[in-house]
Amino acid sequence: MHLSELFDKNKFVVTVELPPPKGTEVQKTLDIAKSLKGIVDGINVTDNQRAIMRMSSLAFSHLIKDTGNEPIMQICCRDRNRIALKSDILGAGALGIKNLCLMTGDHTLVGDHPEAKPVFDIDSIQLIQLARKLESGRNISSNLSFSIGGVANPFSEPFDLQKIKLKKKVQAGATFFQTQPFFDHESILEFVDDVKEINARFLIGFTPLKSVKMIHFMNKYILTKPIPKPVSIRIEKSNNQALEGIKIVVELIKKIRDLTDKINGIHIMPLGLENHLPDILMKL
């Protein structure tokens, strides 16, 4: 089902992220996907995230669809020019993929092929426009209809500049956003207040922190604002850090799930704790 249909019904939408394998062994991740059937509304299939080479998001989205789940195919602009991107979007449509999450993508320099040519022929906003143009079917025969989303970084400074970009994504045709992860309640409230004028649905992002090592990694390489001190102290003091990380996510989600007038759902990026997804979701 289109995510937009769920949004229209005011459902609290739950999406998770599953990366395609680095190789052709797909069963392990597909088994996780099968265990999520009926629990989640969509599974984001990442597109060589962090510029690290993996199986294509198009192929793996198709396999995810075969498990009975709704894939949200992520497409980024780093590795393909406009011809290849459009070609993949047509392919996605023909394979019955209904949801797209379109983004610029991390630079090649941060990944495992730093010597590769970064493409960036177009950016996320132009990609959203191109996808919408393909739907309108000008010059080609197509019966495409997608729910198109983008990503939002709540901690990007200056936030006014981020807001200009979010508005442009909506103007280009995005109807929902999945955010980078939050680690405390106050920041979520602040963010939803900041974006209330933006006419789109917001899925608030979460990532369970599995260790102090992960906190250091996230702070250094992934996040634009460090994880709040009380959260990192809580993980540090725990005897079972992964479990504590999951507990924090569950607590945060429980606190916000009644704010349905402001929040349209959640998006969990497990970053290595994919096996724990059913457990996290059952606890909600």
Partner 1 sequence: MIITKQKSFENILNYIADESSIFIFGCGDCATLCRTGGEEEIKEMSEKIKKIGKKVTGIAIANAPCHELDTARIFRKYKEQISQSDGILVLACGAGVQAAREATEKKVHPGCDSLFIGNSKRHMNFYEKCSACGDCVLNEFGGICPVTRCPKSLLNGPCCGSLDGKCEINQTVECVWIKIFERLKLEGRLSTLDTIHSPKNHSDTIHPGKIE
Residues of this chain that interact with partner 1 (CB under 8 A) are 77-78, 82, 104, 106-107, 109-110, 118, 120-126, 129, 153, 156-158, 160-162, 164-165, 167-168, 171-172, 224
Nearer to partner 1, 4 or 129 (CB): 129
Nearer to partner 1, 84 or 161 (CB): 161
Least separation in angstroms between residue 154's CB and partner 1 is 10
Nearer to partner 1, 130 or 277 (CB): 130
Structure tokens at 100: 């797209």
Least separation in angstroms between residue 118's CB and partner 1 is 7
* Distance set, CA 72 to CA 19, 176, 185 (Å): 11, 12, 26
**Residue showing tokens 């349905």:** 260
Least separation in angstroms between residue 78's CB and partner 1 is 8
Least separation in angstroms between residue 76's CB and partner 1 is 10
Nearer to partner 1, 27 or 199 (CB): 199
Q: What does R_g of the chain's alpha carbons equal in angstroms?
A: 18
Nearer to partner 1, 27 or 171 (CB): 171
Least separation in angstroms between residue 2's CB and partner 1 is 24
Residues with Cβ within 8 Å of residue 268, at least 6 apart in sequence: 14, 15, 16, 17, 205, 206, 207, 208, 249, 277, 280, 281
SS (H, E, C) 123-191: CHHHHHHHHHHHHHCCCCCCCCCCEEEEEECCCCCCHHHHHHHHHHHHHHCCCEEEEEEECCHHHHHHH
